[in-house]
A and B are shown apart, each in its own frame.
Chain A
Amino acid sequence: MAPKVNCRFSEHAQLLLDGRLPAEQEHEFRLHLEECPTCRGELSRLESVRKLLCDAASAPPPPCDRQALEAAVLGSPPARRFRWWIPALGTAMAAAAMLLWFLLPGGVRPPALPEPPPIPQAPIPAPARQALVSYSGSFMEPAAAEQTLPAVAFGEEIQAGPVAPLALRPAERISLVLWPGARIRLQERPDRSIELQLLSGECTLRRLPGAVPLRIQTGAVALWTVGTVLHVSMDAQGTATAELLEGELQEEDETSSARRLTAPVATSWSAGRRQPDRAPSSRAAEAVRFSKILDPATPGELGWVQVSSSPPGAEVWLEDNRLGLAPVLISRSDGEALELRLRAEGRREARAHVRIEGGRVLRQHLTLEPLPEPPPPAPRPPEDALARARTLLAAHEAEAAVALLEGRLRSRPGDVELRLLLADALRLSRRPEQALDHYRQVARTSRDPHVLEVALFEASRIELDVLNQPARALETLLAARRILPQGLLRQEVAFRLAECYLKLSDFGRAVRALQDYLRLYPQGTRAAEAQRLLSDLAEKGWR
């Protein structure tokens, strides 16, 4: 932030660092700095930038292989191979054109090597190797990307040239990049799934959600992909390696039990034996990154979302596809909206909606809250305690039952059945208000709707019959009917609603409640009483 524009020294800090401030103005500026915190802050900030850049300038660039570089520039044989994908990418489009020749029926196979790239003019001696200079980056242009082939012929062997990768789209939403030298064959299976036979070399594939199933066969190993980003290789010794960066693989192995691989993981199979799992290599990750740039199945600019979770390792789901365990990096087209779901055992599912922004890596961190611990089941009181309390109640020794149950409830406050029986005992011992408290507490804590219905019904009886609180009783009964409309006590609840209206002198509603009762329960236990009440009300003009 530049200093205030009304300060006449606002540009002096920059000029000082430029070395363009005359000596007399510098002296004046130094004096000004002592009294202007804004300019002081500005200078400090710019000097911090200079310090950072100065420190960075002292750091040398990464070391290089001078001999190899000299050989590449001056033409002698290189001591080592350069990064393989650079020349590969450079002639990608040329190779794509070559592939077209391969695939045309009756087409003439081109020579094994592509045309050498243009070499510098004299006086530079022509480089002996395939120089890197030819690569112009044009393959990155959208127009060029559209030139990649929309489909390939099934059944034919396809081989990438010695220099260029091939970007193929064997099916909708499946993209495949063959790296130089790779040989594959693609087959369409009777069930419309695609089979990729990797004969040798390396390839990178991406299967987006909604694509047809994809089976990979390399050597004796067969794998099914599940929304997968995968780098597969087959070396000269017959070792097959699958490096999974997104999604899952289902192994199809007849000699041992099939298993499921979840990203990120790398596994090799050598001489029919599976090697221990390990982490995917940086080479695979880099190949995947480059394959995404070449990816013809992904229109528009790519964007990424890095999904992480607390706790780490949550399952990441996109639509119905499990992408792997967080953290995962998901690539999609610009503007694509994703609904991410993260799951972990013992945690609530976390969801997020993300819209991909081309060229950007969004970070989405989701915290999965732990599920509430289920209350530990209250240990059942010994059956003899409940049975004994019931015996006491049957013998009209309600006070003794109350004492027994209160003592039990102190050690097991969560026991609903014990509390319900205590409420009954309190009601019988003519302590209705205490009984009402316990009924309400049962209604609040019970998970069993039938126990809840009983507690509410009994509470309404005390409110209506003992405490003469018809409004509260009405509220309680309506709650019981709302929670369990088909409860065991529904007939009694319906009748008592009418009683509440009568006590509230709401005769119109009382008539309708009684009529409802008789319509629903014409042979009900309270039908005669309901009929009598309706006659009384009719005599008073309420129909």
Chain B
Amino acid sequence: MPGMTGFLPRATPPRLSVPDELLGRCRAGDRDAFRELFHIALPHVRRILYRLSGPVDLDDLTQQAFLEIFRSLGRYQGRGAFSSWVFGICLRLSKKRARGLGRFLRFRERLADALEPAQPAADPESLERARAVERTLARLPFEQRTVLVMFEMEGHGGGEIAEALGIPEATVWTRLHRARHHFARLFPWPQK
């Protein structure tokens, strides 16, 4: 693995930000508001689902996530960040998929080589690396994958993750540390 020289910041993709006014219109059943919310949240939702569940059935999962968001919007009281609440829905769906379709997912993960590349990359090396990351993430236990994605790739804090997952913050850190080590052990580092 390459030697590092400094302390790297983690990824901080843009947070999902939705005006309260729009959420209110959605709760009132405004069809245009649903459409607006859909287009604002779509990149965010797809990105989270992609990180948690991979590229297979992403469209289907995205659709389920939005239907769930729209259906349970009335239960969102605005206490936590809307993005964390959305993340929680994506997480439950991904977890349900992982549990209910465990055999299918294991099959998909083991045959990750056969999957279409998620995104055309500029060069084969980076494409191969991205696929290796995807495969390694898929091999992590779901709990470890979740905290690693939320913290390192989605830029959530320990407290936010604890709230979204409904676990103590100390557990988040423990899982995160294990996940980093586990990932480093599983990742196919290039031979020197």
Q: Give which listed residue, A16, A62, A138, A359, contacts B100 with CB less than 8 A.
A: A138
**Does chain A have a CB within 8 A of B11?**
yes
B142 at interface, CB cutoff 8 A: no
Q: Beta-carbon contacts of A1-20 to B below 8 Å, as 1s and 0s? A: 11000000000001011101
Determine if B47 and A51 form an interchain contact, defined as CB atoms under 8 angstroms apart.
Answer: no
Q: Residues of B contacting A132 with CB < 8 Å? A: 60, 63-64
| Known contacts A48-B2, A361-B111, A61 near B47 by CB under 8 Å | yes
Render A457-469 as a binary contact track against B, CB cut-off 8 A, 1 for contact: 0000000000000
Q: Is the CB of A48 within 8 A of B184?
A: yes
Neighbouring B residues of A72 by C-beta, 8 Å: 63
Q: Does A45 reach chain B (CB closer than 8 Å)?
A: yes
What is the 8 Å Cβ interface bit string for chain B, positions 98-113, against chain A (1 contact, 0 not)? 0011111011001100
| Distance between B66 CB and nearest chain A CB, rounded to angstroms | 4
Residue of B nearest to A60 (CB): B119
A44 to B189, CA, bound (A): 13
Stretch at the interface among A116-124, A183-191, A266-274: A116-124
- Does B8 lie within 8 Å of A69, measured CB to CB? no
Given A18-B176, A55-B130, A121-B71, also A359-B101 (CB < 8 A): no
Q: Judge if B85 is at the interface, Cβ distance under 8 Å.
A: no
How far, in whole Å, are A50 and B121 apart by their CA atoms in the complex?
20
Assembled-state Cα–Cα distance A133/B13 (Å): 29
Query: Main SS of chain B's interface residues?
Result: helix
CB-CB contacts below 8 Å: A344-384 with B? 359-361
Interface residues of B in 38-79 (CB under 8 A from A): 38-39, 42-43, 46-47, 49-51, 55, 57-60, 62-64, 66-67, 70-71
Contact in complex: A136, B100 (CB < 8 Å)? yes
Identify which of B1, B126, B183 contacts A44 (C-beta below 8 A). Answer: B1
**A51-B8, A64-B46, A124-B70 known; A46-B184 Cβ under 8 A:** yes
Knowing A18-B158, A46-B180, A60-B119 are in contact, say whether A74-B10 is a contact too (CB < 8 A): no
Once the chains bind, are B4 and A47 in contact (CB under 8 Å)?
Answer: yes
Q: Evaluate contact between A61 and B118: CB separation under 8 angstroms.
A: yes
Closest CB-CB distance, B138 to chain A, in whole Å? 12
CB of B97 closer than 8 Å to a CB of A: yes
Q: For residue B9, which residues in chain A have a CB less than 8 angstroms away from its CB?
A: 54
Residue pair A54, B10 in contact (C-beta under 8 Å): yes
Residue A58, interface by CB 8 Å: yes
Query: B71 contacts A120, CB within 8 Å?
Result: yes
The answer to whether B1 touches A48, judged by C-beta atoms less than 8 angstroms apart, is: yes
Interfacial chain B residues near A360, Cβ < 8 Å: 110
Chain B residues with CB under 8 A of A82: 59-60
Chain A residues with Cβ below 8 Å from B29 are 122-123
Q: Are B129 and A83 in contact (CB under 8 A)?
A: no
B15 on interface, CB distance cutoff 8 Å: no
* In the complex, A149 has a CB within 8 A of chain B: no
Contact of B8 among A54, A61, A137 (CB under 8 A): A54
Contact B173 A52 (CB under 8 A): no
A304 CB–B CB distance under 8 Å: yes
Known contacts A69-B42, A69-B59, A132-B64; is-contact A58 B11 (Cβ 8 Å)? yes
Write the chain A residue with the least CB distance to B49. Answer: A61
Asked whether A140 lies within 8 Å of B57 as measured between CB atoms, the reply is no
Q: Does B152 contact A (CB under 8 A)?
A: yes
Given A47-B4, A57-B13, A61-B50, check contact A293 B107 (CB 8 Å). Answer: yes
Report whether B8 and A74 are in contact in the complex, using a CB–CB cutoff of 8 Å: no
- Cβ 8 A contact of B97, one of A73, A120, A137: A137
Contacts of A49 in B (CB 8 A): 152, 180, 183-184, 187
Interchain nearest-CB distance for A82 vs B (Å): 6
- A55, A62, A72 — which one has the most chain B CB atoms within 10 A of its CB? A62
Structural contact, A304 and B173, CB atoms closer than 8 A: no
Evaluate contact between A66 and B39: CB separation under 8 angstroms.
yes
A143 to chain B, nearest CB (A): 13
Cβ distance B119 to chain A, nearest Cβ, rounded Å: 5
- For A54, give its contact among B134, B152, B183, B185 (CB under 8 Å): B152
Inter-chain CA distance A140–B27, complex, in Å, is 35
CB<8 Å pairs between A and B, sample of 28: A17-B180, A45-B1, A46-B180, A46-B184, A53-B183, A54-B8, A54-B153, A55-B129, A56-B130, A57-B152, A59-B118, A61-B46, A62-B55, A64-B46, A64-B62, A66-B39, A69-B42, A72-B63, A73-B70, A74-B34, A82-B59, A120-B70, A123-B28, A123-B29, A123-B70, A133-B63, A140-B100, A361-B111
Task: List 8 extra interface pairs beyond A122-B29, A140-B103, CB under 8 A.
Answer: A48-B4, A53-B148, A58-B11, A61-B47, A62-B58, A69-B59, A125-B31, A289-B111
- Chain B residues close to A by CB (< 8 Å): 1-4, 7-11, 13, 26-29, 31, 34-35, 38-39, 42-43, 46-47, 49-51, 55, 57-60, 62-64, 66-67, 70-71, 96-97, 100-104, 106-107, 110-111, 114, 116, 118-119, 121, 126, 129-130, 133-134, 148, 152-154, 158, 173, 176-177, 180-181, 183-185, 187, 189
Which residues of chain A have a CB within 8 Å of any CB of chain B? 1-2, 14, 16-18, 20, 43-62, 64-66, 68-70, 72-74, 82-83, 86, 120-125, 131-133, 136-138, 140-141, 285, 289, 293, 301-302, 304, 359-361
A-B pairs, top 3 by smallest CB distance, nearest first, are A137-B100, A61-B50, A123-B29
